[in-house]
Amino acid sequence: MNIHEFQARRIFASHGIPVPDAEVATTPDEAAAAAERFGGRVVVKAQIHAGGRGKAGGVKLAASPAEARINAEHVLGMKIKGIEVRRVLVAPAEEIASEAYVGIVLDRARQADTIMVSSEGGVDIEEVAATMPEAIRKLAVDPRYGLLNHQATLLGHHLYDDPRAARQAASILGKLYEAYRASGATLAEINPLIVNPAGEVKAIDAKMNIDDNALFRLPDIAALRDLEAENPAEARAREAELSYIQLDGNVGCCVNGAGLAMATMDLVKYYGGEPANFLDIGGSSNPEKVVTALELMTEDPGVTSILFNIFGGITRCDDVANGIVEATSRMELRVPITIRLTGTNEEEGVAILAEHGFEAMIDMDRAVETAVRRGN
Binding site for Mn ion (CB under 5 A): 191, 205
Q: Which residues pair with 188 in a beta bridge?
A: 104, 208
* Closest residue to ligand GDP, based on beta-carbon distance: 54
Pick one of ligand GDP, Mn ion, none as the site partner of residue 52 (Cβ within 5 to 8 A by kind): ligand GDP
Catalytic residue among 5, 67, 101, 346: 101
Told to judge if 180 belongs to the known catalytic residues of this protein, a careful annotator would answer no
Pick one of ligand GDP, Mn ion, none as the site partner of residue 107 (Cβ within 5 to 8 A by kind): none
**Of the two residues 191 and 338, which places its CB atom closer to Mn ion in the complex?**
191
Told to judge if 189 belongs to the known catalytic residues of this protein, a careful annotator would answer yes
- Return the number of other C-beta atoms located less than 10 Å from residue 354's C-beta: 12
Residue count, binding to ligand GDP (CB under 6 A): 17
Cβ neighbourhood burial of 347 (10 Å; 0-12, 13-18, 19+): exposed
Pick one of Mn ion, ligand GDP, none as the site partner of residue 282 (Cβ within 5 to 8 A by kind): none
Residue 343 has φ and ψ, to the nearest 5°, of 105, -150
Q: Please, which of residues 101-140 interact with ligand GDP by CB under 6 A?
A: 122
Q: Please, which of residues 155-194 interact with ligand GDP by CB under 6 A?
A: 191-192
**Of the two residues 58 and 174, which places its CB atom closer to Mn ion in the complex?**
58
Task: Round to whole Å and give the CA distance between 70 and 57.
Answer: 13
- For residue 2, the one-letter residue type is N
Task: Round to whole Å and give the CA distance between 150 and 153.
Answer: 5
* Closest residue to Mn ion, based on beta-carbon distance: 205
**Given 205, 280, 319, 369, the residue binding ligand GDP (CB under 6 A):** 205
Task: Round to whole Å and give the CA distance between 305 and 325.
Answer: 17
Contacts of 127 (CB under 8 A, 6+ apart): none
**Of the two residues 53 and 175, which places its CB atom closer to ligand GDP in the complex?**
53
**At closest approach, how far in Å is the CB of 128 from Mn ion?**
13
Least Cα distance to 101 among 233, 209, 204, 216 occurs for 204
**Given 9, 15, 49, 53, the residue binding ligand GDP (CB under 6 A):** 53
Query: Does position 39 bind ligand GDP by CB under 6 A?
Result: no
**Of the two residues 88 and 166, which places its CB atom closer to ligand GDP in the complex?**
88
- Report CA torsion sign: 294, 300, 306, 308: negative
From the list 94-102, 140-148, 211-219, 329-337, the region that binds ligand GDP by CB under 6 A is 94-102
Residue 239 has φ and ψ, to the nearest 5°, of -60, -40
Contacts of 362 (CB under 8 A, 6+ apart): 340, 341, 342, 346
Catalytic residue among 189, 244, 346, 369: 189
- Return the number of other C-beta atoms located less than 10 Å from residue 235's C-beta: 14
From the list 6-14, 32-40, 88-96, 250-258, the region that binds ligand GDP by CB under 6 A is 88-96
Cβ neighbourhood burial of 163 (10 Å; 0-12, 13-18, 19+): exposed
Q: Please, which of residues 241-300 interact with ligand GDP by CB under 6 A?
A: none
**Which residues are designated catalytic?**
101, 189
Give me the residues that bind ligand GDP (CB under 6 A), please: 43, 45, 51-54, 59, 61, 93-94, 96, 99, 122, 191-192, 204-205
